[in-house]
Each structure stands twice: as structure tokens, then as C-alpha cells.
């Protein structure tokens, strides 16, 4: 399992924003992953997505890595932010955008 944790750690360290999700941003395979994609696209942030359905080791590994039982999982600057509910609440409160900007990640201005 350590190889998977290494892979996950590397993805998280080498990308400012990483979304571990079911499916791809173009074709999310679950509603929760789709919601997070919509939020990230709406605020216009660049992110790397990892499709956990493509590899069962990653799917299990990410849950152990974060000690969080569900997918999707969002990471910003190496830090686990949360799943769909947390991301949605942060977004609605404006905290997600603020958190990204505080970490030097450009977001689209609210219109």
C-alpha cells in the first residue's frame, strides 16, 4: 500500500489543487463528484483530477491517506479540505474562494 500512498502524496504535493473523484471532470460518475467539479469550474480554478474508479488501489488508498471514508476529496496546497458537503458549504460561504486566494491560487472574481 505504501506505493499508492507515495503516488497520492506526490499528486497532492505537485499540484496546487487536486480532486480525487469518481469519473472525470468531463464525465463525473457520481453526483457528489459532479457537484465539486461544478464548484471548481464555477470559481475558475485550475485543478488536477484523479479518477479513483480507474484504480481500486487509489480508491482505497485515498480513504486511508486522508482518514476520510468518502469520495470526492479535495486537496489544496497539500492540505485535505474535505468532501462534497464541506466544499459546498465553504463555497456558499465564500470560504473556499478565500482559502484558495490565501494560498496564492487564482480564482475567478464573483460576478
Question: Which pLDDT value is given to residue 62?
Answer: 97
Give the phi and the psi of residue 47 in degrees, each rounded to 5. Answer: -150, 160
Q: Which residues are annotated as a binding site for [2Fe-2S] cluster?
A: 30
Distances (CA, A) of 12 to 7, 35, 74, 109: 9, 21, 10, 25
Q: Which residues are annotated as a binding site?
A: 30
- The 10s digit of each residue's pLDDT in 40-89 is 999 999 999 999 999 999 999 999 999 999 999 999 999 999 999 999 99
Q: Give pTM, 2 decimals.
A: 0.94
Amino acid at each position: 500500500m505504501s506505493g499508492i500512498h507515495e503516488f497520492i502524496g506526490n499528486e497532492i504535493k505537485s499540484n496546487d489543487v487536486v480532486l480525487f473523484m469518481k469519473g472525470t471532470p468531463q464525465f463525473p460518475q457520481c453526483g457528489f463528484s459532479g457537484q465539486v467539479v461544478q464548484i471548481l469550474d464555477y470559481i475558475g480554478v485550475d485543478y488536477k483530477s484523479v479518477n479513483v474508479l480507474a484504480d481500486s488501489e487509489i480508491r482505497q488508498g485515498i480513504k486511508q491517506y486522508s482518514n476520510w471514508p468518502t469520495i470526492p476529496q479535495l486537496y489544496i496546497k497539500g492540505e485535505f479540505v474535505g468532501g462534497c458537503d464541506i466544499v459546498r458549504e465553504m463555497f456558499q460561504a465564500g470560504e473556499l474562494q478565500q482559502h484558495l486566494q490565501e494560498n496564492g491560487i487564482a480564482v475567478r472574481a464573483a460576478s
